[in-house]
């Protein structure tokens, strides 16, 4: 295996755009590459798998089905929580996420869907759950991860974590 290929334990830089099946732009790196540690579930599994074995300069069009992206939509759909519960949280903006502790002590992410009257609508589904993800990706950098990065499970430095 060449050291110039995408593989577990390497830090990968990609430029990307993400569109939904209707062709609407959802997200883009816009000249600030996404930096991630391959094999550490930093990115959705369908995209991580598609990038494995690729090289700097490779361009890919990848369609990631929901099961390999942010999951299928599940559960009862948006639930109302009194706005007063968010009194200390600042501005409530759809798309924001926060974590709640379940009865068995697990942290569960919830996303804010909207506000109706004195209720904040929240949903356990990621906003992109149930959506096929259309990625256009170009690999712009590959390097070996440092020991500290492997230990933490994410890259450090420009585009990565700062701590």
**Which residues form the interface with Zn ion (CB under 5 A)?**
152, 161
Length of the chain: 163
Task: Provide the token pair at 69.
Answer: 């992206």
Q: Are 97 and 110 in contact (CB under 8 A)?
A: yes
Cβ proximity to Zn ion: between 46 and 155 the closer is: 155
Cβ proximity to Zn ion: between 8 and 89 the closer is: 8
Cβ proximity to Zn ion: between 22 and 163 the closer is: 163
Report helix, strand and coil shares of the chain as percent, to nearest 5: 10, 40, 50
Cβ proximity to Zn ion: between 126 and 156 the closer is: 156
Task: Provide the token pair at 161.
Answer: 């974590």
Q: Which residue is nearest to Zn ion (CB)?
A: 152
In angstroms, give the least distance from the CB of 37 to Zn ion: 10
- In terms of Cα–Cα distance, which of 111, 94, 110, 92 is closest to 102? 110
CA distance 25 to 33: 17
In angstroms, give the least distance from the CB of 152 to Zn ion: 3
Largest CA distance in the chain: 58
In angstroms, give the least distance from the CB of 151 to Zn ion: 8
In angstroms, give the least distance from the CB of 34 to Zn ion: 16
Cβ proximity to Zn ion: between 59 and 161 the closer is: 161
- In terms of Cα–Cα distance, which of 49, 47, 6 is closest to 144? 6
In angstroms, give the least distance from the CB of 29 to Zn ion: 21
């Amino acid at each position: 295996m060449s050291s110039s290929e995408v593989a577990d334990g390497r830090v990968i830089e990609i430029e990307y755009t993400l569109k939904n099946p209707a062709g609407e732009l959802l997200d883009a790196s816009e000249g600030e590459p996404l930096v991630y540690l391959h094999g550490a579930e930093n990115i959705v599994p369908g995209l991580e798998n598609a990038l494995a074995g690729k090289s700097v300069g490779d361009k890919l069009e990848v369609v990631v089905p929901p099961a390999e992206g942010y999951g299928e939509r599940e559960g009862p759909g948006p639930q109302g929580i009194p706005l007063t519960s968010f009194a200390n949280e600042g501005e409530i903006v759809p798309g924001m996420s926060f974590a709640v502790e379940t009865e068995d002590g697990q942290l569960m992410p919830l996303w804010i869907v909207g506000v109706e009257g004195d209720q904040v609508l929240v949903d356990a589904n990621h906003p992109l759950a149930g959506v096929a993800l259309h990625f256009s990706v170009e690999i712009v950098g590959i390097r070996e991860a440092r020991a500290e990065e492997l230990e933490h499970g994410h890259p450090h430095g420009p585009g990565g974590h700062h701590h």
